[in-house]
Structures are given as structure tokens and as C-alpha cells.
Amino acid sequence: MYHFQKLVFLFIFLTSCNSGKLDVIADLPKSLKEASAVEKVANSELLWTIEDSGNKNNIYGIDLKGTIVKDIDIKNSSNIDWEDLTSDKQGNLYIGDFGNNSKNRDDFTIYKVSDLNSNETKAELITFLLPNDVKPKDFEAFFLLNNYFYLFSKENKSSMLFKVPNRIGKHIAQKAFKFNLKGKNLKITAADISEDGQTLVLLNHDKLWKLTDFKGDNFFEGNIQELEFDHNSQKEGICFKNGNSVYITDEKTKGEGGKLYEFKLN
């Protein structure tokens, strides 16, 4: 059910992180120049990543040394603009093909991948359109909660949150919230929610936002903490390692980046 929220400023506490230290875990493989996501999946010891527009329709499982252990070709997919990954408790991996920098797309796809053991497989498709009264949006971030995908539009100022049911077939995305995080560099490039559903993280190139103390899916009516990093790079992937730390990846640009990091939230 659509419930539109006013611009959200209530109960927002913006707190800078003193150190902002990103600990380098590994260099990503040179073959992955545009790693646009990272995801930890139940029943897998690997971290999973993808590349975005113009690259292969493959998912890659890497170990904590940055080595590609698994390379899976998703045969019935097309990498129009893959931007983020999420997963469920059963070990299914979901690819968000919803990047739209040029604002010329009106249909989007989420690929559900159940087989992470073969070298090639087929995915099930969840497709969606935006409501008729919504202008084209670019998305780079989503996560799964209570059998709904939550997608964040990538905007300079006010952003929108949409929800899509985790159900194979065609859907119209539901508008959930309009929100404004305030400040500079507000474009959200990745998102994840903790296993217990109590902490949400949103990623940007030079910071992350940690959201807690929310009820239901009223994510922006709780506490919002802004945690700044000690450097700026094209950070495109985030997932929880545990309740206190996240993994982050960035793309390699001008000889910099292309790494897997750990960042402590507390």
C-alpha cells in the first residue's frame, strides 16, 4: 500500500566518525575493473560481486584474498546495467539490473540465482515498472526485507524509496518514502540490512549512513548516523560481515581503488 512521507528530518542525528578508517582486506582481481556490488550469501564461504553496464552477464565468487573462486555465466540474462546484489536466508542471490543513468529505461529486472555451484545457470526473473506518475529514476542500491525488495533512487537531493515484492513475474513498484539525508554527496550507490533487520547501511563514495531504531519499514524515522571515510573513491558495494562491521568494495579508477575493505560501524 502506497504511503507517501513528507521530507524526513525528524529524529535524524548526523554524527561523524572520528577515524573513518577503511581496512584493506584484499586487492580485487585486475579483471574486475568495475566491481559494482558485494554480497555475503547464506551457505557460501565466498563474497559475490558483479560488474555493471557493458560487462559480462556473470557473477563472481571471491575469497578474502581477492581471488576469483567461482565464475558463473547467467545464460538467460542481459547486463543492461547491473548495479547491486542482495540475498535471502535460503542462499538465493539477486542481481539488480536497474541502473538508468541516461533515464531512458522504463522497465527493470531483478534476477534470482539459486545455483551458485555450476559454471553456468539460468535465473528466474522479477520485472517491474515505476508508477505512471513517477519520472524515470536511476537505481544503484537495494536490499531484501520481509519478502520485499527496497530500492533507493540515486539523486542529488531528495531521493525516493520504492518496494517490489519478491515474487517471480511482472510488478508495478510501490512508492514508499520520499526522503532527504541533508548535506553534500547524497547519491546512494549501495545498501544492505543486517541479518536481524535492525540496522540499515547506505553507501556513498566518501561516507555511509547507518540507520537504526526504526520501526517496520519507516527507516528514516529512527536514528541516522553519518560515518565519513578517510578517503574518497568510487565505492559501489556494501554488505554486512557481522553486526558490527561491513565489507565495502570500490571500482578501480585512474590506478586507485579496486579493493575489498572492512569498515567497523561502532
The DSSP code sequence of 17-81 is -SS-PPEEEEEPPTT-TTB---EE-TT-SSEEE-B-TTS-SEEEEE-TTS-EEEEEEETT---S-
Which residues, listed in sequence order, are joined to residue 154 by a DSSP beta bridge? Answer: none
* Grid cell 540490512 in the structure block, residue: 193
| pLDDT band at residue 183 under the 50/70/90 scheme | confident
Question: Is residue 266's pLDDT more than 90?
Answer: no
Q: Measure the CA–CA gap between 239 and 248, rounded to whole angstroms.
A: 7
Q: How far apart are CA 249 and CA 25, in angstroms?
A: 10
What integer best gives the mean pLDDT of the chain? 91
Sheet holding 200-203, edge to edge: 190-193, 200-203, 207-212, 223-228
Rounded Cα–Cα distance for residues 136 and 123 (Å): 26
In angstroms, the CA 36 to CA 55 distance is 11
pTM of the complete model: 0.92
Segment 143-170 shows an average pLDDT of 96
How large is the average pLDDT for residues 155-170? 95
Instruction: Identify the residue with better confidence: 170 or 1.
Output: 170
